[in-house]
A = this chain, B = another copy of it.
Amino acid sequence: MSLRHFFNPRSVAIVGASREKGKVGFEVLSALVEGGYTGKIFPVNPKADEILGLKCYPDLPAVGAPPDLVIVVVASKLVPMVAEQCAALRVKAMIVISSGFKESGEQGKELERQVLNVARAAGIRLIGPNCIGVMATVEKVNASFAGKLPAPGGIGYFSQSGSLLAAIVDMANANGTGMSKLVSIGNKADVDELDMIRALGEDSHTRVIAGYLETIADGDAFIRQAERVSAQKPILLIKSGGTVSGARAASSHTGRMAGAETAYECVFERAGVVRCESIKAQFDYARALASQPLPAGNRIVVIANAGGAGIMAADAIDREKLALATLSETTGALLAEKLATAANIANPIDLLGDALADRYEIALRAALDDPGVDGVLVMLSPHATTDCVETARTIVRVSHEKSGKPVLASFLGAAKISAAVTVLREGGIPQYDSPEAAVATFRVMVEYSLWRSRPKRVVRLFPVNRRKVELIIDRHLRQNLFQLGEMESKEILQAYGFVTPKSAIANTSEQAANIASQIGYPVVLKVWSPDVIHKTEIDGVKTDLTTSQAVMDAFDLMMYRIPKKRPGINIPGILVEEMCHRGREVILGMTRDPRFGPLMMFGMGGRLVEVLEDVAFYPAPLTAEEAKEMLVRTRTYQLLAGGDGGGEEGVDIDAIAEGLQRLSQLVTEFPGIKEMDINPLIVGPSGTTPVVVDAMIGLEPTMTT
């Protein structure tokens, strides 16, 4: 259902309208009037005849014609009754500004539930409670006490914090930042971030969606909604409160390494959402995305009238991993011909301190015409002879003539450039008070542009033996066992197409030697116990055994020593396993985030995985490209690709990526798997099959297969 009755109602009633200045019931009414709202306004107040020249009504039914939108500012205990009246009148939308609901304890929670039930039953959409209202600038609807309506513009904003929204309104008004809709979603009883992303996505005035969130209710729906809308418009979010939450208990390396922020980081990335660390950064990005085209690549030209400023911008470009564009020979020749001889015609282009608007025009035209340039940062330092305003006008004019590539400005200073900054703003050129802020914005634009042009996501489905996995998991659950050991984990992985070494369990040293001679030497012995997750920690692994004597000795030593280290341990047997060919050790893993579902992990494997922290996370299900990208993000990738300078052969990258996809399929098809590690997976040269040398799986105690 659309939210249009909030943004463009034909009539509005304010229940709890007040005559008293300073009271919310007065401020909201007067904001609506002063904002220039052109529809009908019905103040509801049994103790007043008129307020601000508008006729007052004793209660909602007395209004007669049902209003599209009802704004509620009465005490929380009265709100359920108002909701009933709205339902009776077939009102379309309510904004409940009143507080005293879920945020204030059990009683409030119950009130909120009552109001929501009434609204849901009557098909009324509800914003709030405990919010500061809604603004729609083009429609001249100020149904809030957040301040004056900002100028119309392309940025839509929703906020879980009302006071933050009030501060944003104040800043937008002071800086002339154009906004489309601003919504305080308060307790999110009904309208939440999903509705807002959809509504702002559909809103023709909104070019950029920005928001502040403290919680996300439905992780799965969030991913889908955000991914769909991001394909049309950028979404810039501040997600706060994340770093405060503690680590979760986990047995797997993967679970232990997934921090509180990991899920948000990789889910936002998957959905194309730009995560912002501060309001300032969010508006830095939003202003450019609302007014400038997306860059096709990361090659930036800097134009400046001072060497120092150009160097600072070049430093920032390097830090943000963008590229200083290399100008074409044609561009170089053109600049050399037309600019002052002492000017630096390489990038950054230094027009020198006496540059007037004409030199800026030459450089900007040349840069925008150069096919090797994806975006331009124009910097200006106000020297004594600089004509700031004319330069700003020129930048606006040239960038409009040659649209297609983003142009950002960073004029330095304050009073001397203030008139020019107004010209830039009105001309749609975002201005930044520092080159660093402008370059960070370019980075975000490039990343979003890349995300938009990524290939269509196709998740490959492998033929697998699902039934076998069901049986193994069910068997464990029936026995209340939630931790699968190496043997069982490997059986599950085999069913999903993974290769494991030949192996069998031995109960005596003689049996171990027999198994070893059947498998063929060398072999590995591993303790097999439901009480042990990380075997090497208790010296439960002995590798490279080449004789039957060595196998028997190793068997007996484990049986003797391990119970001394871990008294009471249950050791049903010892695993005798084929020794793998040598290769690189990597870890593949999964941990299930309670909100966003399975997060896949890839990294350098072995015992040091948690120390090295060289891992990458991404939400399942994975496409081939995403699996490959996870590999590329790690330092380990250099080694795997054979690029460590030693001239060594690389390993089969695609085989690892396929392993990640198979694992992704497993954990997607079995939501009861809570966490798992394959560590190590041994990978060899191209054409060889990776081998699962060890693995563990943890189940959700509540699972049903």
Residues of A within 8 A of B (CB): 22, 24, 27, 104, 145, 147, 159-164, 166-167, 170-171, 173-175, 212, 214, 238, 240-244, 277-280, 305-309, 311-312, 314-315, 318-319, 342, 353, 381-385, 412-417, 433-437, 534, 536-537, 607-608, 610-614, 635-636, 638-639, 644-647
The answer to whether B646 touches A163, judged by C-beta atoms less than 8 angstroms apart, is no
Q: In the complex, which residue of chain B has the Cβ closest to the Cβ of A24?
A: B384
- Distance A430 CA – B639 CA, assembled complex (angstroms): 49
Q: Contacts of A145 on B, CB cut-off 8 Å?
A: 384
The answer to whether B163 touches A383, judged by C-beta atoms less than 8 angstroms apart, is yes
Q: Contacts of A413 on B, CB cut-off 8 Å?
A: 166-167, 170-171
Indicate the member of A214, A241, A244, A611 with the most B CB atoms within 10 Å: A611
Q: Contacts of A537 on B, CB cut-off 8 Å?
A: 645-647
Shortest C-beta distance, A186 to chain B (Å), equals 11
Closest 10 CB pairs of A and B: A161-B308, A174-B414, A163-B306, A163-B381, A167-B412, A170-B413, A243-B318, A537-B646, A278-B436, A167-B413
The answer to whether B22 touches A384, judged by C-beta atoms less than 8 angstroms apart, is yes
- Distance A216 CA – B315 CA, assembled complex (angstroms): 17
Q: Which of B412, B534, B638 contacts A611 (CB 8 A)?
A: B638
The answer to whether A167 touches B381, judged by C-beta atoms less than 8 angstroms apart, is yes
Q: In the complex, which residue of chain B has the Cβ closest to the Cβ of A436?
A: B278
- Distance A170 CA – B382 CA, assembled complex (angstroms): 9
- Distance A436 CA – B284 CA, assembled complex (angstroms): 15
Q: Which of B242, B243, B280, B315 contacts A243 (CB 8 A)?
A: B315
Q: Contacts of A314 on B, CB cut-off 8 Å?
A: 241, 243-244
- Distance A382 CA – B174 CA, assembled complex (angstroms): 14
Q: In the complex, which residue of chain B has the Cβ closest to the Cβ of A411?
A: B167
Shortest C-beta distance, A47 to chain B (Å), equals 21
The answer to whether B414 touches A173, judged by C-beta atoms less than 8 angstroms apart, is yes
How many protomers of this protein does the assembly include?
A: 2
Shortest C-beta distance, A381 to chain B (Å), equals 3
Q: Which of B160, B166, B308, B414 contacts A171 (CB 8 A)?
A: B414
Indicate the member of A173, A309, A311, A614 with the most B CB atoms within 10 Å: A311
Q: In the complex, which residue of chain B has the Cβ closest to the Cβ of A635?
A: B611
Shortest C-beta distance, A522 to chain B (Å), equals 14
Q: Can you sample 24 A-B contacts with CB below 8 Å? A: A104-B342, A145-B384, A161-B306, A162-B308, A163-B383, A164-B308, A164-B381, A164-B412, A167-B381, A170-B415, A170-B417, A171-B414, A174-B415, A214-B311, A240-B308, A242-B315, A243-B319, A244-B315, A277-B319, A278-B437, A279-B412, A280-B434, A280-B436, A611-B635
Q: Which of B162, B241, B639 contacts A311 (CB 8 A)?
A: B241
The answer to whether A277 touches B308, judged by C-beta atoms less than 8 angstroms apart, is no
- Distance A309 CA – B240 CA, assembled complex (angstroms): 10
- Distance A561 CA – B242 CA, assembled complex (angstroms): 57
- Distance A605 CA – B145 CA, assembled complex (angstroms): 62
Shortest C-beta distance, A509 to chain B (Å), equals 24
- Distance A243 CA – B321 CA, assembled complex (angstroms): 11
The answer to whether A611 touches B644, judged by C-beta atoms less than 8 angstroms apart, is yes
Q: A161-B307, A161-B308, A173-B414 are in contact. List 15 more A-B contacts (CB 8 A).
A: A27-B384, A104-B342, A163-B306, A166-B383, A170-B417, A175-B414, A240-B308, A240-B311, A240-B315, A241-B311, A244-B315, A280-B436, A534-B646, A610-B645, A612-B614
- Distance A166 CA – B411 CA, assembled complex (angstroms): 12
Q: In the complex, which residue of chain B has the Cβ closest to the Cβ of A537?
A: B646
Q: A161-B307, A647-B537 are in contact. Are A382 and B240 (CB under 8 A)?
A: no
The answer to whether A608 touches B639, judged by C-beta atoms less than 8 angstroms apart, is yes
Q: A308-B161, A311-B241, A645-B537 are in contact. Are A381 and B166 (CB under 8 A)?
A: yes
Q: Which of B164, B384, B436 contacts A277 (CB 8 A)?
A: B436
Shortest C-beta distance, A133 to chain B (Å), equals 12
The answer to whether B613 touches A635, judged by C-beta atoms less than 8 angstroms apart, is yes
Shortest C-beta distance, A278 to chain B (Å), equals 4
- Distance A417 CA – B170 CA, assembled complex (angstroms): 9
Q: Contacts of A306 on B, CB cut-off 8 Å?
A: 161-164
The answer to whether B308 touches A163, judged by C-beta atoms less than 8 angstroms apart, is yes
- Distance A435 CA – B383 CA, assembled complex (angstroms): 33
The answer to whether A636 touches B607, judged by C-beta atoms less than 8 angstroms apart, is no
The answer to whether B163 touches A309, judged by C-beta atoms less than 8 angstroms apart, is yes
Shortest C-beta distance, A39 to chain B (Å), equals 24
Shortest C-beta distance, A585 to chain B (Å), equals 12
